[in-house]
Amino acid sequence: MSRAFPFIRPPGDVVVAGPWSRAAADGTEELPRELPEWDYDTVLSVRRPVQVDGLRARQLSGLAEDAELDLTVRWASSSSALRGRAWRAPVPARDGTELDVEFELDGDELGGVLELDTVLTLRRATPGASPAAARRPGSVLWNDRFSILLQGDAVLFPLAIADFHDLPYPTKAGWYLEVGEDLEAAALGSILLLANERREVVVNALAAAGSPTDADRRVLSALRTDVQRALIERALTHEDFADDVEYPTGSLGALLAAVLRTTFPAFGLEALRRERLSEPALFSSRIQDATDLLAAP
């Protein structure tokens, strides 16, 4: 379901946003779509260059030249359900304005899928605007979203250790991921990873997730791949899930959409559904490849 705006929006080329990058030991590097080494002690330091045609954006939005516009970056984390404004700057009424977006995010507020939304918004309209122009402060004239899967060895969902003998799950299974059905419910409250206490190798690997041995890493890699598989399966089999719906930030639907985007950026939802049904073995192998199953640390 695409969103219709009740006001004029300028063409997308009024903002030219460069790639996101992050601080590295030898300078900066492009920010990947997945950070397998991420943990809660990580401070994410990111930046991107942006060029804004502030005058043209106003003219093609039907706004007066003295209307006040902002360029803002907002962040949202799926597993913590936290969100906030990371950066903001006013956009002057001239074309070719260069802005350097740069900020840090503390790892203890993040987890799961991190979404960075860069938006050009109206701060204040002024007299002389077109009747079809945006009038409310905060109206979005342009936006761009970048999603990052924070997939470190630590578990990113609520975890419980239980004896599967007492639960309706196979007694010898290592784990089970419970995933809710309500796509608009908070992701953090919709997902629970159950680890079978009878499988000591799994319980020990989870306990050592902060500094795992090579053996622990192999177990955690298998668990991580299977968790991602379960989330993808939920998205593909949920009859109400669609990839063109804008689910609430922090919701189960938003998490499933972000997992699909980061795992299979080149595949559409229906193509994935067809392959899962017609070529299940290939589809399973594709998930293993996308999640780097059992890769050397």
Phi first, then psi: give them for residue 95, nearest 5 degrees.
-90, 155
The reply to whether 279 and 199 lie within a common domain is: yes
119: left (phi over 0), alpha (psi -120 to 50) or beta: beta
Q: What is the pLDDT of residue 248?
A: 83
Report residue 221's pLDDT band, with 50, 70 and 90 as the boundaries. confident
- Tokens 């997945």 found at: 34
Rounded distance between C-alpha atoms, residue 37 and residue 150, angstroms: 8
Q: What is the CATH number of the domain that holds 118?
A: 2.60.40.3880
DSSP state of 14: G
How many Cβ atoms are within 10 Å of 138's Cβ, its own excluded?
A: 11
Strand partners, 72: 88, 119
Total residues belonging to the chain: 297
Write out the residue range of the structural domain in which residue 203 sits. Answer: 159-290
The reply to whether 169 and 116 lie within a common domain is: no
Structural domain total, the chain = 2
Q: What is the 3-state secondary structure (H, E, C) of 133-175?
A: CCCCCCCEEEEEEEEEEECCCCCCCCEEEECHHHCCCCCCCCE
Question: Among residues 122, 150, 178, which one ends one of the domains?
Answer: 150
Q: For residue 199, is it within any domain?
A: yes
Q: For residue 270, is it within any domain?
A: yes
pLDDT tens by residue, 254-294: 888 888 887 888 899 999 999 999 999 999 999 999 888 88
Six-digit token string for 292: 């780097």
Mean pLDDT of all residues in 88-93:
97
Q: For residue 71, is it within any domain?
A: yes
Closest CA to 56 of 95, 99, 91, 90: 95
Report residue 11's pLDDT band, with 50, 70 and 90 as the boundaries. very high
The reply to whether 61 and 165 lie within a common domain is: no
Higher-confidence residue: 263 or 72?
72
Q: What is the pLDDT of residue 269?
A: 93
The reply to whether 91 and 181 lie within a common domain is: no
Q: What is the pLDDT of residue 39?
A: 67
Mean pLDDT of all residues in 133-153:
85
